[in-house]
């Protein structure tokens, strides 16, 4: 099952990161977003990332130019014709199905539909589509061009050869792929919820400060503390994942989101991207 052309839906942080990853691997890539501005942001991101790679001697100017040429930008979803479609839209199952339905219809029956969802069961997403056997999870981690891990998730109806094709593709992209069952949060986000939630509860209970929790966990071997990491990922993104996990596990208390995180989102304090999160950043 050859994958020579990939279409990525969503020009946000994850979508553009995935598009750059596939283009760097020599694959013709379509990047779609409904907003021209997001595509412009993506172009700037690619230029900056690849220029730094040239400066560091990781690639030549010619390789940078070829990589940029492999990416085609569009706001027309009718142009999303590829061997593999990867959606990277917000964590809402109805939205994902609404976006993927017309795209599935206009593509070849052999086209693979992959979701970059971090928490929603693939079986639920596939249930709203006509060919659930062609639907699979391909969960990248932020920043996608740098993080090595990719979770490959098979839904109840996913054909084994589809999952295997995506698993092999991840290797060609320079990633370390792991196959996981179709359970909420899969492996990483299920484990990571407690890393974030228990840290926030410690702060809520005034047992320790944000800085103290980060410092203590880093001294235990973590490269970043939970609050630093939430600021990097985006507090609103992290909260969305927590809410999705809480619902998926039928409101088990261990997955209950924290009020301090909701307050940050309500205030527009999303982390590095907004200049203010659990820490302050110069814009």
| Res 282: pLDDT | 79
The phi and psi torsions of 184 (rounded to 5 degrees) equal -55, 130
Give dist(CA 151, CA 181) in Å, integer.
Answer: 10
Q: Which two tokens stand for residue 236?
A: 């609103």
Query: Is 245 found in the same domain as 172?
Result: no
Sign of the C-alpha dihedral, residues 121, 123, 127, 130?
positive
Regions of the chain short of the pLDDT cut 70: 283
Give the range of the structural domain holding residue 17, as residue numbers without chain letter: 5-180
Query: Is 196 found in the same domain as 164?
Result: no
Give dist(CA 30, CA 81) in Å, integer.
Answer: 9
| Res 44: pLDDT | 97
> Is pTM beyond 0.75 here?
yes
The label of the residue with tokens 């219809």 reads 105
Residue 194 lies in a domain: yes
- Per the structure, the count of domains in the chain is 2
Residues with a known catalytic role: 118, 139, 151, 189
Residue 215 is part of a domain; what is its CATH number? 1.10.1040.50
Number of Cβ within a 10 Å radius of residue 79: 14
| Res 283: pLDDT | 62
For 176, the enclosing helix (H) or strand (E) is strand 176-180
């Amino acid at each position: 099952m050859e994958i020579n052309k990939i279409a990525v839906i969503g020009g946000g942080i994850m979508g553009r990161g995935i598009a750059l990853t596939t283009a760097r691997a020599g694959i013709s890539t379509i990047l779609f977003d409904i907003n021209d501005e997001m595509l412009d942001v993506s172009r700037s991101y690619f230029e900056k990332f690849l220029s730094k790679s040239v400066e560091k001697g990781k690639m030549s100017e010619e390789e940078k130019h070829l990589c940029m040429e492999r990416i085609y930008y569009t706001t027309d979803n009718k142009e999303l014709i590829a061997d593999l479609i990867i959606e990277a839209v917000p964590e809402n199952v109805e939205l994902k199905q609404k976006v993927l339905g017309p795209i599935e219809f206009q593509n070849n029956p052999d086209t693979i539909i992959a979701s970059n969802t971090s928490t929603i069961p693939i079986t639920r997403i596939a249930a709203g589509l006509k060919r659930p056997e062609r639907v699979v999870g391909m969960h990248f981690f932020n920043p996608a061009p740098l993080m090595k891990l990719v979770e490959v998730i098979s839904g109840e109806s996913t054909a084994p050869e589809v999952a295997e094709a995506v698993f092999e593709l991840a290797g060609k992209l320079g990633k370390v792929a792991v196959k996981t069952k179709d359970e909420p949060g899969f492996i990483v986000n299920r484990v990571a919820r407690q890393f974030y939630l228990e840290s926030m509860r410690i702060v809520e209970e005034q047992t320790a400060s944000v800085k103290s929790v980060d410092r203590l966990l880093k001294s235990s071997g973590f490269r970043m503390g939970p609050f630093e990491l939430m600021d990097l990922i985006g507090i609103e993104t992290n909260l969305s994942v927590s809410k999705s996990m809480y619902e998926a596990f039928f409101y088990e208390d261990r997955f209950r989101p924290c009020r301090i995180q909701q307050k940050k989102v309500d205030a527009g304090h999303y982390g590095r991207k907004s200049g203010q999160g659990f820490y302050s950043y110069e814009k």
